[in-house]
Structure 1
Amino acid sequence: MCLKQIKRIYTYRIMCESCNILLFLGETYMRLPEMKQTFSDLILNHSEELAEHMFRELFSLYKARFTEEEIKAGTIPLYIQLIHIVAKGLIDEKVQIEAPAWGEKVGWLSIKNGGELGGTIKSSNLYKKVICSFILEQGEKQRLSYMDLSDLLAEVDAILTLTIYGFSNAFTKHTEQQLKEKENMYVKISVPLVPISPITAILPLVGEITDLRSEVLLQETLHACTSKRYENLILDVSGIYSVNTVVIDTLSKLIDCLNLLGVDVMVTGLRKELSLSFVEHGIFLRGVRIYSNLSKAIEDL
């Protein structure tokens, strides 16, 4: 056999092998939708069994904190819901958007039970372990190729990873909520209405008046004056150093509202800058008694 013939045969073999590889890849691609449908059905049909398996794994982690009945009653329905999201998500990408919502729901339940984000995320690895082990077991029975299983496992992993986003979202919202509550508590504390007699109180304003503090200041002051039936309110503004439109609007609204309630307002510690700002904004504090300091206002009661 000459060298030219050997080359021709070698080239022919390479072409045949290439064709076989392409045919194999084409067959795998064509089978993928069918394979997803098959595993979607398998997962749905074994959803209760998989949920029980998830429960056993979870209980081994948290049995020191909860009884079996407490965990099982609350988790089995949630696990079945997650398993359905995974199964249906394999054949319908639109279903996958339900995964973050599921994760957020579970995140809030974890917060309610005193859980932490780290432990909640750890549980997602548990879900992956149970479902992926089931896929591997079923794949082995059906003699699927490694490439086929890799595609399935990657999609399942992607769906379950979306639940972590939901977990994080719940804990982020909870943290923001706590910060907001603490801020509101601080703002309420910064509205110290001090009674000096059954019908008179002093409201010393100190520091910056923000939009949030302005709202709370109006609400808390008007509520206190109404519930305590104060007839006189001494508004001490000597602690206000930063003058802006929020400060002017807040003080103007507060004085007008108190006058409507029949409360006699006295203002003390009115600095030159604040006084000029009132005039510039067309606010003249008519009917309001103004004193240079707190002691003179108290003497005039």
Structure 2
Amino acid sequence: MKPGYQETYANYFSHRQEEFQQALLSDADQVRGKVNEVLLVGNIDLLDNAHKLVMYALTGEDGEALSSFAEKEGVAWAQHELTLSFKLEWVQTIRRTMWGFLETLQKEEDTGSIPFFDLERQVNDTIDQFLNGFFLSYSRYKDALLEAQQKLVENLSAPIIPLSKGVGVLPLIGEVDEKRVAAIENKILPEINHLQLETLIIDFSGIANIDSTSMNRIMTTIHGTYMMGCECVITGLRPDIVLTLTKEDLTFDSKIITKGSLEQTVNDYLNVKKADL
């Protein structure tokens, strides 16, 4: 587009910003009632951001400034759990309303000499670039959030709790399935090394259910603790778990100590440590 035309369009929309915003709200039924809600929840000013997008489209600024704007919008939208369908409807409303105003400008100002197809390409390309950047930013944020949540779940799946220097407890709670066992396998040995544990107490009393395959994998991991010089103590074996072991002819290594309750075991080891001091 020839220099000067961008300024004509930008000035036209700047002087009619309030009128444009009212036209937007009139056209977007779903958005109208949520402007204040979105501002309150996410500190996102839909109307002000709509004006910014229009200015980017009219002035042809499609570089770093537009990319940064789209990225910030995507993150804000993802952070506050605002839906993509809502955003898409809003941006398309901006596009439709903007072209309605441009048509009016063409008629009022008799701007027939302005290269209209250049304008169409610039405006639509800019808005499409914004949408592309917005969706990529939104997706990256959601993917990073999901990955962080998965890591948190993995950590909670096998939380080794230090009791004293050299002694830690791993309470197994809930259902122990293949995914949970994998988390346990991946975490126990590195944590033993990180915490410099001499004794690891594994408590089975909180397990809701465990199959023989998962139990066998846990027993293999327990054997690995000895290879790292860490004594392993098993507590809380309920009758149903013991029955599962005996039916499958699974037995703990003779080096593994088994005790009845976690409470008594913890007290015993803490008292031993105090006596050593």
Structure 1 length-normalised TM: 0.54
Question: Contact (CA 8 Å) 1:54, 1:127: kept in 2 or not?
Answer: yes
* Residue matched to 1:76: 47
Map 1:147-162; keep pairs closer than 5 Å: 148-162=115-129
* Residue matched to 1:239: 220
Question: Contact (CA 8 Å) 2:39, 2:46: kept in 1 or not?
Answer: yes
2:219 counterpart SS class: strand
1:33 counterpart SS class: coil
Q: Which has the higher mean CA deviation after the structures are superposed, 118-127 or 154-163?
A: 118-127
**Consecutive unaligned residues in structure 2, runs of 5 or more:** 173-179, 203-216, 234-250, 260-268, 270-277
* Residue matched to 1:172: 139
Identity, in percent, stands at: 14
User: Would the alpha carbon gap of residues 115 and 134 (structure 1) be closer, same or farther in structure 2, given more than 3 Å must change?
Assistant: same
* Residue matched to 1:201: 169
Cα offset for 1:128?
Answer: 0.8
Q: 1:62 aligns with which of 31, 34, 53?
A: 31
CA RMSD in angstroms comes to 4.6
Aligned partner of 2:126: which letter?
A: I
Query: Computing the radius of gyration over CA atoms, which structure comes out larger, 1 or 2?
Result: 1
The answer to which structure, 1 or 2, has the higher relative contact order (CA under 8 A, 6+ apart) is 2
Q: 1:218 aligns with which of 182, 191, 196?
A: 191
**Consecutive unaligned residues in structure 1, runs of 5 or more:** 1-28, 242-246, 256-263, 269-291
Q: Which has the higher mean CA deviation after the structures are superposed, 157-166 or 80-89?
A: 80-89
- Whether 2:10 is the aligned partner of 1:40: answer yes
d(CA) in 2 for partners of 1:293 and 1:156? 71
Structure 2 length-normalised TM: 0.58
Aligned partner of 1:265: which letter?
A: C
Q: 2:86 aligns with which of 119, 123, 127?
A: 119
* Residue matched to 2:257: 298
User: Would the alpha carbon gap of residues 109 and 97 (structure 1) be closer, same or farther in structure 2, given more than 3 Å must change?
Assistant: same
Runs of 4+ deviating beyond 4 Å:
192-196, 202-206, 213-217, 234-237
Cα offset for 1:137?
Answer: 0.8
* Residue matched to 1:259: none
d(CA) in 1 for partners of 2:106 and 2:51? 21
